[in-house]
Structure 1
C-alpha cells in the first residue's frame, strides 16, 4: 500500500494559494518568500487524522479568580447554571473607632457592573457589559461561618489552599440563617446610582456613579457585628477579623425558567460594604460655633469593609447527556473538547503516529496551518444560547499556551497585553442574521514545530473564553478520569457556549479539519 497515495491525499493547489495571498483576511504566510518561486510546489494538505471528544468538567478550582460570576443563566442546549460567590471581608483600617453611641443609619453593598457610556437621544446613558440573560433570579446574602484558609493545613501551611466550585453544600451548612438581604426578583439595572459620602468632619455630599449591584443590608446585624465591637479584639487586626467575620455569601437561585448572570469585579475600588452611621464626637473644632470645644455633637460617618482575601465561585450546573460526534463547549463548570492531531495508527509503537512520521520526512516549509471549527446550527439556531465570541486552544499536557499565542509569524511576537490576538484565535464568524458559522484557530507555529522540530505531539484543550488574555490555569478536582488537570481561567468566567462539528461528522464540508498550506522543493 502506498502511504503517500492512500493516507495523505495531498493536493497541489498553486492557484488556490495565489488566491489566498490576494485575500489577506483568509490567508497569511509564514514563508511567503518562496511561494510560487521556481523550484517549489505550493500545496494544501487537509487530510490529517484527528480525534476529538467532549469532556464534562467535574468541580473546578475557583478561589482567587480575577473576576467572578453571580446569577442564574439558562439556555436550551446546556440547561441551567447557577453561580454564587463566597468572599472574605477586610477592614479598611484596623482597630477602628466609631465615636460615642454610634447608630447605623444604612448599610449598602455595592459592586460596579462592567458598563460603558453611550449616547441615546442626545443623552449620555450607560450600557451594561458582561450581562447574560434578561429575567429575574433570587438573590440572597448571608453571613458565612465557613473559615477560608489562605494556606492548606494538610501541607503544614506551605502550599496555597484550593477551593472548588462544588463548595456550596459546605457553605450552606455553615451559614448564619438570619438572611442579610433577599429578593425573589433581582435584575441588574443600567441606571446610574447616587451615593452620599461623608468627609472627616462629618460633611455629607452626594455623588453620581456608574451602575452597580447595590443592595441594602440588615442594619441591626452590622450594628451588633461591627459598630458595637469597636475597641475589642475582633476588630483589632485583619487576622482577628477574618476569624471573627468569616465571610459573606452571595447566593443565586433560579425562580423560573431563566435568570441573569453577571460578571463582577469584587476588587474594584468602588466595591465593598459601606456602613453609614450617626455618632457623637467631641466638638474640638467648634463646628457649631458655640465656643464649646468639649461638648459632644452628632455627626455622620461611614466605614467600609472591602472584599478581599479568599474568594470562591460556586457553580450548580445541569449536565445534559449528549451523544454523537459533536463537540459541546460550555463555560463555568461546563464542558470542553480534547483534541489530538495526527492520531492515526502507530505501526512501530514508538508513540508517534505513522502519519506524523511521514510528514516529518517531507521537509515541508509550513506557510500556514489552521484548525477550522464549524458551528452545528441544528443545536444553536432558534435557541437562547449565548454563542461564545472566542475560543481558546491550549497545550493540555503542559497546561500552557501554544507557540502561536506568542508568535503571530516566525520572529514576530504577538502582543499578549492585547485582548485581540485575532490571527491566532480568530473571533466567531457570523452570517447575515448574526448566527455563528465557524471559528478558525491559526496553529502555524505549532504545526511547524511538530513537523520540522520534532516537538512532542501533545493533546490540545479547547474551551470557550471570556477573554483570551485570561490564560492562567486552575485545577480540576482530581477524579477517576485524569484526562484534564487544569483549565484556563477565562473559561470559568462565562456562561456562554457553543456546539461544534467533530472530525467524523456526516457532513464532510463541516468536519473539524486541519488545513496545512506548505511548500516543498520540486523533485
Structure 2
C-alpha cells in the first residue's frame, strides 16, 4: 500500500481533458503519447492501482412488492442451490356494477399471464431469454385470503405499504412468507379455494390460438403465456351471483372481498423450470366467458365477457434452500471470495478508500485513503485546503482519464452457465446508478446483454473478467467533494430494468430496518435467479486474480 500511494505523489498543476475511446473488444483504453509525438507533448500518461476493500453483504428482508416483472417456478443454481418463486397478486374488475343479463350460463374462466417472449417468425416465438430450466414443477392457483393493504398504517406521511422477503426457511421451507415492519405473513395459512392445479407444469413457447364464437371468423393469435382454465363453479358463486351486491360496486369493496390470487410453485425434483411473467401487461387478466338471453331477439343467446385485470399490489415470494453459507464479510481485511446471488441472496460492497495509508512515504499509516486520494490529485491552497474555481469546484493537478474496477470470476464455476452474466454497479450511499452509468450512451433496450457496455462492461469469457467504469464517479469525488465512496455489486439479468432516463426513475428495493451502509439494492437483482462467485481483495487472493481499481491519469512533464 505504501508503494502504491508513493506513485501518486506529483506536484505540478494541469487542467487538460484527454478523451477516452472504447476499443472493438469493449475494453477501455486511453490515448497514448505517440498521437502527438513524444517530443512535442508537455504531458504524459500513467497508470496506478489504488488499494480497495471488497466484502460480502448478506441480503435479508428485501422489498418484494411491485417489481418490474416476476419469477414463477423452481430453479437450481449449480453453485448456490435451489430457489422456489411464487406470486401473490391482486386483481381489479374492468367495470363495476355489472349486468350479467338473464339466464346467464358461465362457459369458462381463463387466467392469462404473458411470458416475456421474442418472435422468431409470424407464428413462432421463443421464451428462452426468460426461462431457466425445462423440468416440470407442481403449479397451483389458489384464492388469496390475506388482504394486501395499499398504505402503511404506521407511517406519518401516508407512505405506501411495502412487503419484504422472508426466504431463509427459518420457519419452514414449504410455505411462502412475507413480512412488514411488525407482521409475518404466511400465505399458505391464508390461502383459499384451489382454482387450478397442474402437477407437471412446464412453460411452453407455443403460440396460442383462440377460436371465435363465429366459426367463419379467423382465429386470434396470442404470444406464449401462462394460460389455464380455472374452476368455473367457483366463479359462478363468487362473481355471477354477486350481481347487484356491494362486492362488485367499487374497487375498495371488491379488493376486500376478493383479495387476489396466490400462484404457488413447488419442486417435484431437484431440477425444475423458472420463468419470467409479465404481470404488468394489459393481457394479464382473468376472463369470465358467459352467455345470456339476447334482449333484442327472443329465444336467441349472446356471448359476453367480464374481465378481472391483474392490477394492484403484487408480491414475489421466495423459498431458498442454499448449499453455500452466505454471511456478512470482513470490512477491514476484505473477503477472499465474493458471492453475488439474487432472490434474497448476497451482494458485494467495494470500499474505494478504506483504511489508513502511508501517503507521504515516511513509513507510517497516518492518513485515510480518501484524504490521500484528494491530496494526490487536488491543487493545495497553501492553508491546509485545496483551491477551487469560480464555480466552487476543486482544481485538479492530475486528471483522471479512466478509472475502472477489474474483477475476476472464480474459476471453479461452469463457464457456459455464466456467459450471459452482467454485473450491475451502483452508488450505495445514494442508492442510485453510478454517474458513469447515467452518462453511458450505449443503451440497448432490445438486447440487455449489449446495453451499457461502457460503464458496466461485459464478461470476458477468455479471462473470466469484468471491467466496471468509475471515471466520472471518482471525478465527482475529487471535483465536487461527493461522499459516495462505496460501490455495490449485484448480478443482473437486465441492466436496463431499473432506470428510466425519461423519468429519472430508479427502481430500487429497500432493505427492511437496515442499519448498515446498504439501504437497498437495484430491484433487478432480486429477480435475477442466477448467482456468481468472484475473487475479492483479501491478501490471500493471488495478486493476478485480486480485484483492483485501475486509474489512468494525465500528468505534466
TM-score (norm 1): 0.85
1:27-51 CA distance string (max 9 Å, x none)? 34499999966121211112x1111
Equivalences for 1:295-374 in 2 at 5 Å? 295-319=298-322, 320-321=324-325, 325-345=336-356, 352-354=370-372, 357-360=375-378, 363-374=397-408
Alignment of 1:38 with 2:75, yes or no, is: no
Alpha-carbon spacing, 1:423–1:310, altered in 2? closer, same or farther (3 Å): same
Give the Cα–Cα distance (whole angstroms) in 1 for the partners of residues 300 and 216 of structure 2.
13
Show the counterpart of 1:290. Answer: none
Aligned partner (choices 270, 275, 288) of residue 257 of structure 1: 270
Deviations 1:267-306 (A, max 9, x none): 2121111111222231x1x4xxxxxxxx253222222111
CA RMSD of aligned residues (A): 3.1
Q: Does 1:274 align with 2:287?
A: yes
Question: Of the candidates 203, 206, 219, which is equivalent to residue 188 of structure 1?
Answer: 203
Matched, 1:27 2:28: yes
Check the 8 A contact 1:59/1:164 in 2, yes or no: yes
2:521 is matched with: 487
Distance 1:465 1:388 in 2: 10
Provide the secondary structure at the position in 2 that maps to 1:221. helix
Aligned counterpart in structure 2 of residue 87 of structure 1, from 80, 86, 89: 89
Q: Give the counterpart of 1:68 among 54, 70, 79.
A: 70
Matches within 5 A, 1:35-434: 38-46=41-49, 48-118=50-120, 125-128=124-127, 129-155=129-155, 158-166=158-166, 167-168=177-178, 169-176=185-192, 178-196=193-211, 206-282=219-295, 284=296, 286=297, 295-319=298-322, 320-321=324-325, 325-345=336-356, 352-354=370-372, 357-360=375-378, 363-381=397-415, 385=417, 388-408=420-440, 419=448, 420-431=451-462
Cα separation, 2, equivalents of 1:22 and 1:455: 27
CA distance in 1, matches of 2:373, 2:196: 61
| Unpaired segments ≥5 residues, structure 2 | 11-17, 167-176, 179-184, 328-334, 358-364, 380-395, 500-506
Q: Spell out structure 1 runs of 4+ moving beyond 6 A.
A: 30-35, 202-205
For the residue of structure 1 that corresponds to 2:262, the secondary structure is: strand
Residue segments in structure 1 that go unaligned for 5+ positions in a row? 13-17, 287-294
Contact in 2 for aligned 1:363/1:452 (Cα 8 Å): no
Q: Which residue of 2 aligns with 1:465?
A: 492
Match of 2:473 in 1: 446
Specify which of 451, 456, 459 is matched with residue 483 of structure 2. 456
Using the TM superposition, give the Cα deviation of residue 6 of structure 1 relative to its aligned residue in structure 2, in angstroms. Answer: 5.9
User: In the superposition, relative to structure 1, how do residues 438 and 482 fare at CA in structure 2: closer, same or farther (>3 Å)?
Assistant: same
Contact 1:126 1:192 in 2 (8 A): yes
- 1:292 corresponding residue in structure 2: none
In the TM superposition, residue 423 of structure 1 has moved relative to its aligned partner by: 0.5
1:197–1:373 Cα change, 3 Å: farther
1:474 aligns with 2:487: no
Contact 2:137 2:267 in 1 (8 A): yes
- The residue matched to 2:348 in structure 1 has which SS? strand
Deviation for aligned residue 1:111: 1.0
Aligned residue pairs, count: 486
Give yes or no for contact 1:35–1:42 (8 Å, CA) kept in 2. no
Task: Show CA shifts across 1:208-233 (max 9, x none).
Answer: 21111111111111111111111111
CA distance in 2, matches of 1:335, 1:8: 35
The 1:6/1:365 distance shift into structure 2, 3 A limit, reads closer
Query: Given the two structures, how large is their TM-score scaled by the length of structure 2?
Result: 0.80
Q: Could you tell me how far apart the structure 2 residues matched to 1:243 and 1:205 are?
A: 40
User: Which residue of structure 2 aligns with residue 514 of structure 1?
Assistant: 549
